[in-house]
Amino acid sequence: MATIKGEKPLPAGRWYQRVLWLIAIWFASVLALGILASGLRWMMHMAGMASH
C-alpha cells in the first residue's frame, strides 16, 4: 500500500494473533454453513421431503 511521505506503515501484528483470527473466521463460516444446512433440511422435512 502507498503511504503518505513520513508516515510509518502499520505493523503486521503477531503471527499467532493472525492464526487465531484465521481459525476464528474459519470456525464461524463452518458454523454458519451448518446452521444454513440444518435450516434447509428442516424446511425440506416440513415440506414432506423426508427420506425416512
**What pLDDT does residue 42 have?**
95
pLDDT at 5: 74
Mean pLDDT by 10 residues, the chain (52 residues): 70 87 98 98 93 68
Which pLDDT value is given to residue 24?
98
pLDDT at 6: 76
- Tell me the three cell numbers of residue 23: 481459525
Other Cβ atoms less than 10 A from the Cβ of 3: the count is: 9
pLDDT at 50: 79
CA distances from 21 to 26, 31, 36, 46, 52 (A): 8, 15, 22, 37, 41
Write down the pLDDT at residue 12. 73
